[in-house]
Amino acid sequence: MISKQQHELSGALSTDCMALLEPLLSIRYYADGELIFARGEYKAGLCIVLEGSVKVGNYGKDGRYFLSKVLKPYESFGEFTIFSKLPRTHTAEAYGESKVGYIGPSKLKKAIIKQPEIALQLLQSLSTRLHMSLEVMDDIKRLPVIVRIAKVLFELNREAGGLESHSLSQEEIASQLGVSRMVVSSSLKELSELGLIEKGYRAIRIPDTHRLLSWIKERQQIKDLL
Amino acid sequence: MISKQQHELSGALSTDCMALLEPLLSIRYYADGELIFARGEYKAGLCIVLEGSVKVGNYGKDGRYFLSKVLKPYESFGEFTIFSKLPRTHTAEAYGESKVGYIGPSKLKKAIIKQPEIALQLLQSLSTRLHMSLEVMDDIKRLPVIVRIAKVLFELNREAGGLESHSLSQEEIASQLGVSRMVVSSSLKELSELGLIEKGYRAIRIPDTHRLLSWIKERQQIKDLL
DNA sequence: GTATAAATGTAAACATATTTACATTTATAC
DNA sequence: GTATAAATGTAAATATGTTTACATTTATAC
């Protein structure tokens, strides 16, 4: 079970909010890799991951893929197709088998007017995500890749609820940060030599979360939040 | 006067929304450069620029400043201090003399419950800004600095309602993109040699908006939106 | 077990942007 | 007008990350 604080930090919707929205959702199941929405599409609707994961990112004209985020249950996407009249910014694909809830614009707006608590929850989710996005933007401007990689690993660990070992390839880390696999490889080597992480095949283990955090904090260029 | 579409594209609040909120705002005037909020502060409250401009950005521990955005009238900031319980991500300072409206958490939440239209407007603003932020993030990953500079200039032009000439220093462009002043200088030289812009002292002129846009579009790495 | 695919390690050549340093231009205050 | 400050131009040295290319390791399917 996910704690309340974790909801707030990830932008996921609270169980209270889900209780209000769940009856209104159309449910659909997706197979691994199946396309949910593509960048540029105009069909409006809020999507909420209910089971499994959804990979959100973009393929460039040259085929290069950059991952934006892997959404877990109760995380939503596509708000701007409803509240602004903007097309999808990202391609969303099922990441493993997954169950996704969908609600259209008019239905959602009506629900908000009727139950403004829903709006407060969505406002929380959106403002948290904007917050995170702005922080990452600052990191990109200020921090060297190795520190940003360390932060990604730390975040991964926090979101997973403090698990020690994580299954992900260096390629995935690279596509998330928008850097080459090679620089990820050499950064991980360095972090591993510092004893901050342990590398494996498609795996990273973080033996001591606190030590990793303090290493990151020493390299932080601006005042820490939280 | 700003058109409705421009509101939607910038994340500014609509005049309808302002009509609802204005009676609830505490007004305060700031002198040029005066601090409004600093990064890390916890005092919650939504701020709305009413007159003048507000510069939002961050100073690093080494003193380096990166500009996030210059907010114009009817643009808001600080949502996450209310809807999430997060501290200020950015330092906000008056940019020229300015008038700022302020509304505290409980007052705003009550207003939303009473008039859910306010929530819809805030949701629009937040989702638009998240949308923009994600697009910029993708640009950082994919585009060379010169193209990103061209996009910033194009955006500036669009937001100013198609004015030809703009007063800003190369240093300001650099701090917005998080790059060095020198690379801005050489990029502007290149753009100027291509006839896409004209340089001046603290000034950029865009002789032909459409030509600049098509130059940018040719270099776009992912599918265009809008 | 063996073959194959996927992931990782590594290094040289290259590209891009930063840093440092100083010259030049332009505006502004007196 | 002159002095000063602010902004811009430029270039060499350096740093950081990418690209290309291939070797090696590890998992998985047969």
Q: What is the pLDDT of residues B126-159, one digit of tens each?
A: 999 999 999 999 999 999 999 999 999 999 999 8
Query: Given this model, what pLDDT does residue B1 score?
Result: 42
Verify whether the Cβ–Cβ distance A59 to B86 is below 8 Å: no
* % pLDDT > 90, chain B: 85
- Is the distance from CB of B143 to CB of A58 less than 8 angstroms? no
Q: Residue range A63-72: average pLDDT?
A: 93
Cβ count near A224 (within 10 Å): 10
Verify if strand D has an atom below 7 Å from the CB of B142: no
Q: What does the mean pLDDT of chain B come to? A: 93
Verify whether the Cβ–Cβ distance B120 to A109 is below 8 Å: yes
Shortest distance between the Cα of A197 and any Cα of chain B, in A, equals 26
- Which of B60, B87, B116 is nearest residue A112 as measured by Cβ atoms? B116
Q: Residue range A37-53: average pLDDT?
A: 95
- Predicted confidence band at B210 (pLDDT cuts at 50, 70, 90)? very high
Q: In this complex, is the C-beta atom of B119 within 8 Å of any C-beta atom belonging to chain A?
A: yes
Asked if pLDDT for residue A2 goes beyond 50, the answer is: no
Query: Given this model, what pLDDT does residue B7 score?
Result: 57
Cβ count near B186 (within 10 Å): 12
Q: In this complex, is the C-beta atom of A180 within 8 Å of any C-beta atom belonging to chain B?
A: no
- Which of A84, A134, A220 is nearest residue B133 as measured by Cβ atoms? A134
Q: Which overall architecture, per CATH, does domain B4-128 show?
A: Sandwich (2.60)
Residues with CB under 7 A from strand C: A 169-171, 181-182, 185-186, 188-189, 199, 201-203; B 144-146, 178-180, 182-183, 200-202
The domain ranges of chain A are: 4-129, 143-219
Spacing of B85 CA from C27 C1' in Å:
46
Asked if pLDDT for residue B6 goes beyond 70, the answer is: no
Give the whole-angstrom CA distance, residue B128 versus residue A60: 22
CATH number of A143-219: 1.10.10.10
pTM score over 0.85: yes
Token pair, residue A55, equals 């990979």
Secondary structure (3-state) at A92:
strand
CATH number of A4-129: 2.60.120.10
Verify whether the Cβ–Cβ distance A68 to B137 is below 8 Å: yes
Q: Residue range B49-69: average pLDDT?
A: 93
Give the whole-angstrom CA distance, residue B36 versus residue A65: 40
**Which residue's CA lies closest to nucleotide D26 at its C1' atom?**
A201
Verify whether the Cβ–Cβ distance A124 to B64 is below 8 Å: no
Of residues A184 and A160, which shows the higher confidence score? A184
Q: In this complex, is the C-beta atom of B123 within 8 Å of any C-beta atom belonging to chain A?
A: yes
Give the whole-angstrom CA distance, residue B14 versus residue B21: 11
Asked if pLDDT for residue A40 goes beyond 90, the answer is: yes
